[in-house]
Chains A and B, each alone.
Chain A
Amino acid sequence: MAQCWVLVALTMVGIAVPVSVAGAPAPGRLPPARIVSINPCIDAILLEVADDRQIVAISHYSQDPQATSIPLDRARRFKATSGTAEEVMALAPRLVISGGHVAPATAAALQRLRIPLLQLPVPTTVSESIAQIREIAAVTGHVDRGEALVARIGAALAAARPPHSRPIPALIWQSGGLVPGSGTLASELLERAGFHNLSADYGLKQWDVLPLEYLIARAPRLVLSASGTSGRRDAQLAHPALVRLGRQIAIRPFSFRLLQCGGPTIIAAMARLSAVRRSLAAS
């Protein structure tokens, strides 16, 4: 279904935005202006590749200090919408870019109003995220900036590449015990930084809730506790059983926002992961 939507959206983009996709816009022709993004992860990529004047509005999440994936002072320079067709329509955009999970009614409304919608699903691998960056860079007419971002991500991945040692068994723990498993971007980043995601060993699915018993029966070396920006520790991770295992399991905070997006967020996530790995090696 998602692929179908992207195809439909791409066809419409092709009609509405006749600017060349391969390379800089021809002289005398402006790159497509008036883009609205209604997804905070797309915002982060868009701000990297597009001109500020091409961006008409971003998602309201990007102006929320708890949720944003871009610097707040930068985000506040743009208009924000909550992503309803009404607000988007009033801005008369030439293109709307959204994540994969748009309310069906909103997607249908935009289609009816003949506003091209480019739906990009949640990336589950680094290469999917890179493909999305290239796609956004192409529709904004700034392929070069897209490639620069891709190169920075490649450099960050290379810099975080572990020495040839055995992967460290680890786990990412979101509040409530929700654990990203195989087939998620977070899991791939974890493995690329020299860890082994234990989620699949516990028999968990792509996203699943991990019972504490499993965790204790087969303790990981590292638990990355993904909490909000407050730095509070997850209440369940303070369970007495885990505290007694404290010497075996290192619990380190991992900012929740590093889990939410691909794109430029990958750079920050890899830096954090390799810092954690170095600190484990030192201890």
Chain B
Amino acid sequence: MSATRLNLLLIVGLAGAMALSLIAGKVWLPIDPFVGFGQGDDPRWLIIAELRAPRTLLAMILGAGLGLSGAAMQGFLRNPLADPGLFGVSSGASLGAVLSLYFGFAGFPLVLPAFALSGAVMTMLALALLAGRSGSLILFALAGIILSSVTGSMTALAISLAPTPFAVSEIITWLMGALTDRSWNDVWLALPLTLLGAGLIALTARALDVLTLGEPAARSMGVDLARMQWLVIVGVGLCVGAAVASAGVIGFVGLMVPHMVRRVVGGRPSATLLPSALGGALLLLLADTLVRALPTVSELRLGIAMSMLGGPFFLWLLFSLRRQLP
């Protein structure tokens, strides 16, 4: 199957999943509120217009950002196990959000996302200081791992210092990641950041292809590795930062989707970018619809659902990699 056909297929899938996402949930909505379009008093119409629609769009925006980031990361580090969380941006952003919950600012609108985004920005700045202008991939990955363990331990410290068990559970529940009760405000926050991030990543497409030949070859072919590194960092940072700010930590999307896509479109990094974004959007939208519609008493957190899908996927990846080895 060609890349174009895959993209078309994914877009059709997305349209179907959007329709499903609008009607599915703890409260199943039949078609008739859609017919009475704009009649403001029906609570079911409000549920669709103010809760389901922003949530559906947000799942697609964040899923696309995470899928695209994963594809860029795996191409850039030339490692199939690279994940957007590797730069430490997502743990930095969650530290920011946890601090706003810890100090009790999160009741005011937009404070939590603002804290999360400043956490993401500060992590990117720290990454710049650590990895410098070297353009070295190893140094860069190591700096990311150091940053994510430092910010992770500070998050754990904030949890352990929380004054009451109720505050602890509030923080932990947020950390698990979910799209429950998100609003249009979250959409307007995440959309421009993700678009900007995606634009920056798209600029690296050709350089990513050249990089498959190895760093020296890419350098000799005129690729500015340092510039490319910063495009990838800032692009991934914006997509991941927007995702954490509006939904908490949702892992594995960026890890799984590029793998699935690569089976169809082959290994050329630039060819995986668009289908990974579409596939990420589809995966997260389906997962969010599923957690909402599952007959559990309280909603399963989206972040947990993704990890539960991600674990077995990792296992399968390991076995298939082993089979390829002699």
Interface residues of A (CB under 8 A from B): 1-2, 4-5, 60, 64, 80-87, 89-92, 99-101, 103-109, 112-113, 122, 178, 205-207
Contacts and interface: CB of A to CB of B under 8 A. Distances in A.
A82 B26 contact: yes
B107 A5 contact: yes
A207 B112 contact: no
16 contacts: A85-B181, A92-B43, A100-B166, A101-B167, A103-B173, A105-B182, A108-B109, A108-B183, A112-B50, A112-B183, A113-B46, A113-B50, A205-B163, A206-B163, A206-B164, A207-B165
B53 to A, nearest CB: 12
User: Would you call the interface of chain A mostly helix, strand, loop, or mixed?
Assistant: mixed
List 9 A-B pairs, minimum CB-CB distance, nearest first: A82-B298, A109-B181, A90-B27, A85-B181, A105-B181, A106-B181, A104-B106, A92-B43, A1-B107
Given A82-B26, A109-B181, A122-B164, 9 more contacts: A1-B105, A4-B107, A84-B26, A84-B181, A86-B25, A86-B51, A87-B27, A105-B183, A112-B183
Nearest to B164: A207
Contacts, number: 92
Contacts of A60: 297-298
Nearest to B170: A101
A108 B163 contact: no
A122 B112 contact: no
A112 B106 CA distance: 16
Nearest to A83: B298
B192 interface: no
Contact of B181 (A100, A101, A103, A207): A103
A103 B163 contact: no
A70 to B, nearest CB: 17
Interface of B: 25-27, 43-44, 46-47, 50-52, 101, 104-109, 112, 163-167, 169-170, 173-174, 180-183, 185-186, 292, 297-299
Given A103-B173, A205-B163, A84 B112 contact: no
Contacts of B25: 86
A1 B112 CA distance: 14
Contacts of B26: 81-82, 84, 86-87
Nearest to B163: A206
Nearest to B107: A1
Contacts of B112: 104
A112 B163 CA distance: 30
A1 B106 CA distance: 9
Given A82-B298, A100-B166, A207-B165, A89 B46 contact: yes
A205 B47 CA distance: 43
Contacts of B165: 178, 207
A103 B180 CA distance: 9
B65 to A, nearest CB: 19
B297 A82 contact: yes
A183 B141 CA distance: 46
B166 A89 contact: no
Contacts of A205: 163
A89 B26 CA distance: 11
A120 B166 CA distance: 13
